[in-house]
């Protein structure tokens, strides 16, 4: 009887020993899949989905936040002249610099060479983060696989309390995008969303030949 129990117990332990690594591997795979669904594969930053989730949560909690959008000026030229590998290196390095910005800032890569910052705090905090983002990109060159690259960015930002507290995610992104567009067609530096000024810039740009 004891021998049969020992044999059965040995079988159970052997099965458990085989199952544990399998369960661990399955859990590891599930963790990777979940991470990939919410993060960018080149920079490791949160992607558009996670950024929007965090923005929605902040708005639902009536937390004062700002949205900063930026893209790299002439990024296509980088890919065309030094190659996509160098372009990916540049995106990764930009992401690292944005992640190192001080304060309550969440950096994300939305698509292509477009990045976003979700800034918790007042309007001045958002303006400071936008200026800091521009400086960390433009001030020092980036060392990539083919050498060094000097790049600048066009940065636009807006804030929930600039206009009304009930503003939604789509409106905030649209406002920040308009300000970024204004920066791109004027100075290429930093612009805050101001409805009348941005509308004028877009109107003038459409009239260009």
Summarised one tens digit per residue, pLDDT across range 46-90 is: 999 999 999 999 999 989 999 999 999 999 999 888 899 999 999
Q: What is the mean pLDDT of residues 149-175?
A: 87
Kindly tell me if the per-residue pLDDT of 21 is higher than 90. Answer: no
pLDDT tens for 142-161 read 998 878 999 999 999 999 97
> How many other CB atoms are there within 10 angstroms of residue 85's CB atom?
12
Chain mean position to CA 182: 21
Mapping DSSP onto H, E and C, the string for 42-90 reads CCCCECHHHHHHHHHHHHHCCCCEEEEEEEECCHHHHHHHHCHHHHHHH
Q: How far apart are the first and last CA of the chain?
A: 95
pLDDT at site 165? 54
Among the options 40, 89, 113, 177, which is catalytic? 113
**pLDDT mean across residues, the chain:** 84
Tell me whether residue 124 is one of the annotated catalytic residues. no
CA–CA distance, 18 with 134 (Å, rounded to integer): 53
pLDDT for res 180: 96
Residue (of 103, 113, 116) closest to 50 by Cα position: 116
- pLDDT confidence of residue 69: 98
Domain 48-206: CATH class, spelled out: alpha beta
Q: What is the pLDDT of residue 71?
A: 95
Residue ranges covered by each domain of the chain = 1-38, 48-206
For the entire predicted model, the pTM comes to: 0.80
Torsion of CA 35, 36, 40, 41, to 10 degrees: 120
């Amino acid at each position: 009887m004891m021998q049969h129990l020992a044999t059965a117990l040995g079988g159970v332990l052997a099965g458990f020993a085989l199952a544990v690594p399998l369960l661990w591997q399955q859990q590891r795979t599930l963790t990777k899949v979940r991470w990939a669904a919410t993060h960018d594969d080149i920079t490791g930053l949160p992607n558009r989905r996670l950024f929007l989730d965090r923005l929605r949560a902040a708005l639902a909690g009536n937390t004062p936040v700002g949205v900063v959008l930026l893209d790299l000026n002439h990024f296509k030229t980088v890919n065309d002249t030094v190659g996509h590998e160098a372009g990916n290196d540049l995106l990764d390095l930009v992401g690292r610099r944005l992640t190192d910005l001080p304060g309550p800032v969440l950096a994300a890569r939305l698509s292509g060479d477009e990045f976003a910052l979700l800034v918790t705090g007042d309007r001045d905090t958002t303006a400071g983060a936008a200026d800091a983002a521009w400086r960390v990109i433009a001030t020092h060159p980036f060392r990539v696989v083919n050498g060094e690259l000097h790049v600048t960015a066009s940065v636009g930002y807006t804030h929930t309390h600039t206009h009304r507290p009930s503003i939604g995610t789509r409106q905030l992104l649209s406002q920040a995008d308009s300000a970024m567009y204004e920066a791109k067609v004027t100075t290429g530096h930093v612009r805050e969303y101001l409805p009348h000024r941005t509308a004028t810039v877009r109107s003038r740009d459409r009239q260009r030949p």
